Amino acid sequence: MTTTSAVPRGLAGVVVTDTALGDVRGREGFYHYRQYSAIELAQTRSFEDVWYLMFHGELPGRAAAADFAARTAGLRTLPAEVREALPAIARAGAVSGPLAGLRTALSLLGASTGYRPVYDLDADRRRADALAACAAVPTILTALQRLGQGLHPVEPREDLPYAANYLYMLTGSEPEPDRVRAVEQYLISTVDHGFNASTFTARVVASTGADLAACLVAAVGALSGPLHGGAPSRALDTLDAIGTPDRIDGWIREQVLSGRRIMGFGHPVYRTEDPRSRMLKSIAQSFGGPLVDFAVEVEQQVEAILAELKPGRELHTNVEFYAGVVMELCGLPRAMFTPTFCAARVIGWSANILEQAEDSKIIRPAARYVGTPPPQPVAAP
């Protein structure tokens, strides 16, 4: 007989394992990677340094940082089997976009490279597979986006850092330094964020001993849901729908009173302002312009209206609200907002997969049966 204990819907707040990778302290408005504030890392270090931290448990010194950056840059070129398949993947995903195509391309990457189950590998081999997959993801995403627009993919450059190379492969031209740094800070701030849906999914698959590509494909599938990774472009769509400052009050009140969700506001963990939103707002304001001014005004009025209509509830902007503004200012097409998030989160997923692979216990929760009491007599045919 299976016995179960009562747990919150969606496993909210349920501790399922131990981790040394980081945590989210929602009531404090704070989250960290390893022993460091994630926001401080975004403000002071490079993306490659944070990648190294997540994989190795410490920040690199100058020599180690240079070696790691060069090593990962050398892994950006895709295997021939994957490159040759990308046009067909792009055509098949003309409507669904690069994120859907990434699932297929990652499966092909794992098969063509010969990824073996993490259960059968030592730690060094697992990490090597993870490095190669993480380095390949931006190349795949940007190639699929360009192919979908009728353009040729842009080959990666080993002389450019991660964020700069990402923008270069997307646009075909070397980006401005201020745009590179803005996108890099966004990428760093979204590398990891506790046991969110996609990270937990990656760990569940890793607990079966599956290969790294299988774990990442599962994580991408979870990320594709609009309640998880699909909100940056939807938050910007909200600004478009409002249109002008004089429409803010009426539009927001209608949404709230009708019970519809306002994309870019509220978070399942934070009960204060999302620290990522605070940082991205500052980045957006450093660019300035009408879009930024409008976003700030919308934020102020939304919070005031929510405080009036839903007193006692702490609802503030989350990472998606100003992430959409920053990416728009940096010239990224909206179809690439969630894929760009993925280009960062693949580091966190992989770090979690590597950690989970050290534990041979499969994740196997139980469900509470609430259907018709069994056994019922089986009717004769």
Contact 162, 185 (CB under 8 A): no
Of these residues, 48, 184, 299, 320, which one is catalytic? 320
Q: Is 267 among the residues known to form the active site?
A: yes
Q: Which two tokens stand for residue 16?
A: 């399922």
Q: Which two tokens stand for residue 311?
A: 């007193």
CA angle 214, 276, 43 (to 5 degrees): 100
Residues 6+ apart with CB under 8 A from 330: 167, 175, 179, 182, 183
- What is the side-by-side strand order in the sheet with 22-25? 22-25, 30-33, 36-37
Distance in angstroms (rounded) separating the CA atoms of residues 224 and 227: 9
The count of other CB atoms within 10 Å of the CB of residue 28 is 11
User: Cβ-count burial of 313 within 10 angstroms (0-12 exposed, 13-18 middle, 19+ buried)?
Assistant: exposed
Helix-, strand-, coil-residue percentages of the chain, each rounded to 5: 60, 5, 35
Of these residues, 48, 193, 267, 299, which one is catalytic? 267
Q: Is 320 among the residues known to form the active site?
A: yes
Q: Which two tokens stand for residue 6?
A: 């009562």
Taking each helix axis as running N to C, give the angle between helix 212-223 and helix 337-356, from 0 to 180 degrees, rounded to the nearest 10. Answer: 140
Query: What is the rounded (10 degree) CA torsion for 246, 247, 248, 252?
Result: 150
Distance in angstroms (rounded) separating the CA atoms of residues 356 and 118: 10
Contact 223, 201 (CB under 8 A): no
Active site residues: 267, 320
